[in-house]
Amino acid sequence: MRKPFRARAVGAILGLALVATACGSGDGADEGTPPEGDPIRVASFNFNESVIVAEIYAQGLEANGYPVERQLNLGNREVVKPALEEGEIDLIPEYTGTVAGFLGAEASADSDATWEAASAAWEDMGITLLAYSPAQDKNAYVVTGETAEEFSLTTVSDLQSVAGEMIFGGPPECPERPLCLQGLQDVYGLEFAEFVPLDVGGPITVAALEGGEIDVGLLFTTSGVIAANEWVSLEDDMGLNPAENIVPAIRTEVVEAYGDDLVALLDSYSEALTTEDLTAMNARADLDQEDPALIAEEWLTTNGFFE
């Protein structure tokens, strides 16, 4: 069963947290008594969406008086996981399905079950997953409109007859990831002519797809560049991708140190975040080159967390 938002379990605490948040501002001012404790080290993966969501957490915490340090664009999960478990960072926005699979737990299309599996897998390592957000971002297997038309591609299964002639591009860790090349091989039986290591759904992958250096690129379903370029995100018709709800992963020691007020505050941000929000914010960061910190601040303001 899904871990309920603390907003429903401790309504009074969340109400106080929201009042305090509404009184805050983007510069971190707060009229109440600031919580005491060590700085909360907020980290992100090395792509814009992760940085934006991490900034939402960081700015929201600062506005309520929590001490915060940022370690943004830290790297991939191979870097982030040990840093979190060893106490080098304290908080990062995660994705339920990907982290469950990475931890060797079972991930599925069921958001509740996937959260439970990931949470149980990390609990013994001193990491707590808070309530997950309705916002999801999954892997997208993308081709240009011209490629889709030439080979009649609408689903990932449609690649089966042509993958052997195509070049696939994605992050360097893709060959070892169950939702990347491993999964495409195991679930769909796809064997590409070549794999080109690029970045994590970022500008290098976009440029390679635009320039014809790759035929299929790994992007994200919330990437604004897909619609902007009239590219085709192939339907995952055999269900390779599990639920990928965004969720704060935080060291249990930090939760214990700061208590329910901290949990309620972070839960309130997660509950307000939508997939549509992610897509719009990504477009601003990826296409318009806007500052992720300013995008996060505007989201907090628009959603009533900042004045």
Delimit the domains of the chain by residue range: 6-136+242-302, 139-233
CATH architecture for the domain at 139-233: 3-Layer(aba) Sandwich (3.40)
Do 6-136+242-302 and 139-233 have matching folds?
Answer: yes
Q: Which of 14, 260, 20 is nearest to 128 (CA)?
A: 260
**pLDDT at residue 307 in the model:** 81
- DSSP code string of 284-304: HHHTS---HHHHHHHHHHHTT
**pLDDT at residue 22 in the model:** 37
3-state SS, residue 72? strand
Find out whether 232 and 140 touch, Cβ atoms under 8 Å.
no
Tell me the C-alpha distance between 228 and 80, whole Å: 31
Q: Is the pLDDT of residue 26 over 60?
A: no
Tokens (6 digits) for 28: 């971190």
The 10 Å Cβ neighbour count of residue 22 is 12
Q: Give the helix/strand (H/E) hosting 114.
A: helix 111-123
* Average pLDDT over the chain, rounded to an integer: 89
Give pLDDT tens digits for 61-80.
999 999 999 999 999 999 99
Q: What are phi and psi of 257, to 5 degrees?
A: -70, -40
Q: Are strands 139-143 and 232-233 parallel, antiparallel or unpaired?
A: antiparallel
Give pLDDT tens digits for 80-124.
999 999 999 999 999 999 999 999 999 999 999 999 999 999 999
The 10 Å Cβ neighbour count of residue 87 is 12
Q: Is the pLDDT of residue 9 over 50?
A: no
Q: Is the pLDDT of residue 30 over 50?
A: no
- For 155, which DSSP code? B
**pLDDT at residue 33 in the model:** 57
Give pLDDT tens digits for 188-241.
999 999 999 999 888 999 999 999 999 999 999 999 999 999 999 999 999 999
The residues near 192 (Cβ < 8 Å, ≥ 6 apart) are 163, 164, 166, 167, 168, 181, 216
The region of weakest confidence among 3-12, 41-50, 143-152, 210-219 is: 3-12
Pick the CATH number of 6-136+242-302 from 3.40.50.2300, 2.40.50.100, 3.40.309.10, 3.40.190.10: 3.40.190.10
Tell me the C-alpha distance between 303 and 269, whole Å: 9
Tokens (6 digits) for 296: 């996060």
Q: What are phi and psi of 162, to 5 degrees?
A: -125, -5
User: Assign residue 4 a region: left if phi > 0, alpha if psi is -120 to 50, beta otherwise?
Assistant: beta
pTM of the shown model: 0.83
Per cent of the chain over pLDDT 70 is 89
Q: Is the pLDDT of residue 25 over 90?
A: no
Tokens (6 digits) for 146: 């011209």
Q: Where are the alpha helices (DSSP H) in 232-306?
A: 252-258, 260-272, 275-286, 292-302
Tell me the C-alpha distance between 150 and 187, whole Å: 24
Give pLDDT tens digits for 149-159.
999 999 999 99
- The confidence band for 34, taking pLDDT boundaries of 50, 70 and 90, is low
Q: Which of 222, 231, 270 is nearest to 2 (CA)?
A: 270
The region of weakest confidence among 32-36, 117-121, 174-178, 202-206 is: 32-36
- For 195, which DSSP code? E
3-state SS, residue 51? helix
- The confidence band for 20, taking pLDDT boundaries of 50, 70 and 90, is very low
The CA distances from residue 222 to 8, 181, 283, in Å, are 28, 20, 9
